């Protein structure tokens, strides 16, 4: 059985002192062995987060990573830098990074492989726009993104990757993906992994739903057989809301 995984993407929110306060509120609410819990604060909060998480089962993640070990890449952060700060996960290829900062499938692949090489688990994001969904291009688009992310990656490494399916059209738009729609696309992503690496890898890889999972829809989404967790945005900034999602995932794992 795949262990559920809930990751909070704080995006560009929280100063270091606010980060420590939120983690302090969160810790007593989400200590569960049944579910893997990750917080992904901004780079400037990572040191404060590491200290606040000391002795906790909550894992630390970053919101991005660069593929180079070091060099003339102003504003970027390497896997080794993150590893020394205690980072265990890194979000890669988020739709906002692709949309606003021009990140490409090739760059996503390089970042994911750099993370794996340094012992950091990549959370690779894939997803389609409203125009692509309405044109019936969801599977073609998401399948191509998934295959590009795994390029030149062996089966053992592929099984360690976490995939987050982001229906871009359902994030902050007022539109929502039904649990059936989410399950259909996530099952398709698993089928792509199966095509690339075989049954064992497909059954091992964990696939999150990243389309505005919240306390109201978490239980229904987590009940779907191929949905292994959530990449949580706004709800991860509220300790009670995030803990309710974690507890839904933990309950479903029992």
Strands (DSSP E) along the chain, which ranges? 5-9, 36-40, 59-62, 89-92, 121-126, 162-165, 206-209, 229-232
Catalytic status, residue 199: no
Q: Residue 90: phi, psi to the nearest 5? A: -145, 130
Place of tokens 């062995």: 33
Q: What helix, strand, coil percent values describe the chain, rounded to 5?
A: 50, 15, 35
Confirm whether 166 is a catalytic residue: yes
Q: Which of 36, 96, 103, 166 is catalytic?
A: 166
Q: Which of 161, 177, 181 is nearest to 169 (CA)?
A: 177
Supply 171's token pair: 């994030």
Tokens of 36: 């893997």
Q: Which of 94, 96, 103, 128 is catalytic?
A: 94
> Which are the catalytic amino acids?
94, 166
């Amino acid at each position: 059985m795949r262990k559920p995984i809930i990751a909070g993407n704080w995006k560009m929110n929280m100063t270091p002192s606010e980060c420590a306060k939120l983690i302090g509120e969160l810790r007593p609410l989400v200590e569960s062995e049944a579910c893997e819990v990750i917080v992904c604060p901004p780079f400037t909060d990572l040191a404060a987060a590491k200290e606040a998480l000391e002795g906790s089962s909550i894992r630390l993640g970053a919101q991005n990573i660069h593929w180079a070990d070091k060099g003339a890449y102003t504003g970027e952060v390497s896997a080794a830098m993150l590893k020394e700060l205690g980072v265990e996960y890194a979000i890669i290829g988020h739709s906002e990074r692709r949309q606003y900062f021009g990140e490409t499938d090739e760059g996503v692949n390089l970042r994911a492989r750099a993370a794996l090489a340094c012992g950091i688990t990549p959370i690779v994001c894939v997803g389609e726009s409203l125009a692509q969904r309405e044109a019936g291009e969801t599977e073609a688009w998401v399948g191509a993104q998934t295959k590009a992310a795994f390029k030149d990656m062996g089966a053992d490494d592929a099984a360690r990757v976490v995939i987050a399916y982001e229906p871009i059209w359902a994030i902050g738009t007022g539109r929502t993906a039904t649990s059936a729609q989410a399950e259909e696309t996530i099952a398709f992503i698993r089928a792509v992994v199966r095509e690339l690496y075989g049954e064992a890898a497909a059954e091992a890889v964990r696939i999150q739903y990243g389309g505005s999972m919240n306390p109201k829809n978490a239980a229904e989404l987590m009940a779907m057989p191929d949905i292994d967790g959530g990449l949580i945005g706004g709800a991860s900034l509220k300790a009670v809301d995030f803990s309710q999602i974690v507890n839904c995932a933990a309950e479903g794992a029992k």
